[in-house]
């Protein structure tokens, strides 16, 4: 019986470079937060990083460059962007006394997907399971986070953006639903 040959995946392609650039942009964002750079500049870099998430998937599908390593790298870059940025902001803003009750709630809403699904992401990486394919609700959560978090940041300094609580709440609901689908996919993959 002939053995199935495993197709070698190409690491250096445009989608993976975009995912890696998101990691480097996150490092720049964290540095900017720690050095108390201009909030507008931080928001602009965050939005650019979020756009790379949209582009890497589109390019991978368009040019048939989808790989398992690309899915894992994309997931790592996404989580690093959101978790790294948010944790750094929490530390710095709490240190400066800028986080109050509703602002803390907004952070939890925006991060609902990560908070709920993080243990299952650890299971995927530690057990060698395949990363679940991206689904619409997951991508919608990412897009909402890409809008909600910058608006939230601007709301701390500019009263015009106080509507951020509504966008954060919507992101929280969609993120929680996305987590349920994600967890289901993890269990389905584990039971194959």
Residue-number span of the structural domain to which 112 is assigned = 14-190
Residue 3 lies in a domain: no
Q: What is the mean pLDDT of the chain?
A: 88
Tokens of 59: 């390019």
Identify the CATH number of the domain in which residue 91 sits: 1.20.120.1760
Do residues 52 and 22 lie in contact, with contact meaning Cβ atoms separated by under 8 Å? yes
Please check whether residue 8 lies inside any domain of the structure: no
Mean pLDDT of 154-168: 92
Q: What is the pTM of this model?
A: 0.83
Number of domains the chain contains:
1
Q: Which pair of structure tokens corresponds to residue 148?
A: 């909600």
Is residue 57 a part of any domain in this protein?
A: yes
User: CB-hemisphere CA count at 13 Å for 177?
Assistant: 13
pLDDT digits (tens, 9 = 90+) for 83-134: 999 999 999 888 888 777 888 899 999 999 999 998 888 888 788 888 888 8
Q: Looking at the domain assignment, is residue 106 inside a domain?
A: yes
Query: Looking up tokens 């509703």, which residue turns up?
Result: 102
17-55 residue pLDDT tens: 999 999 999 999 999 999 999 999 999 999 999 999 888
């Amino acid at each position: 019986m002939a053995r199935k040959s495993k197709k070698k995946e190409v690491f250096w392609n445009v989608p993976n470079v975009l995912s890696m650039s998101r990691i480097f942009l996150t490092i720049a964002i964290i540095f900017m937060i720690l050095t108390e750079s201009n909030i507008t500049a931080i928001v602009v870099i965050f939005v650019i990083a979020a756009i790379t998430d949209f582009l890497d998937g589109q390019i991978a599908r368009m040019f048939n460059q989808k790989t398992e390593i690309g899915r894992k790298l994309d997931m790592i870059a996404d989580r690093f962007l959101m978790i790294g940025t948010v944790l750094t902001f929490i530390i710095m803003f709490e240190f400066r006394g800028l986080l109050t009750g509703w602002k803390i709630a907004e952070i939890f809403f925006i991060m609902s997907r990560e908070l709920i699904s993080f243990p299952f992401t650890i299971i995927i990486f530690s057990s060698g399971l395949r990363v679940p394919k991206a689904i619409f609700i997951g991508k919608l959560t990412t897009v909402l986070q890409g809008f909600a978090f910058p608006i939230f940041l601007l709301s701390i300094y500019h009263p015009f953006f106080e509507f951020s609580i509504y966008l954060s709440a919507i992101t929280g609901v969609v993120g929680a639903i996305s987590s349920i689908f994600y967890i289901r996919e993890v269990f389905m993959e584990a039971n194959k």
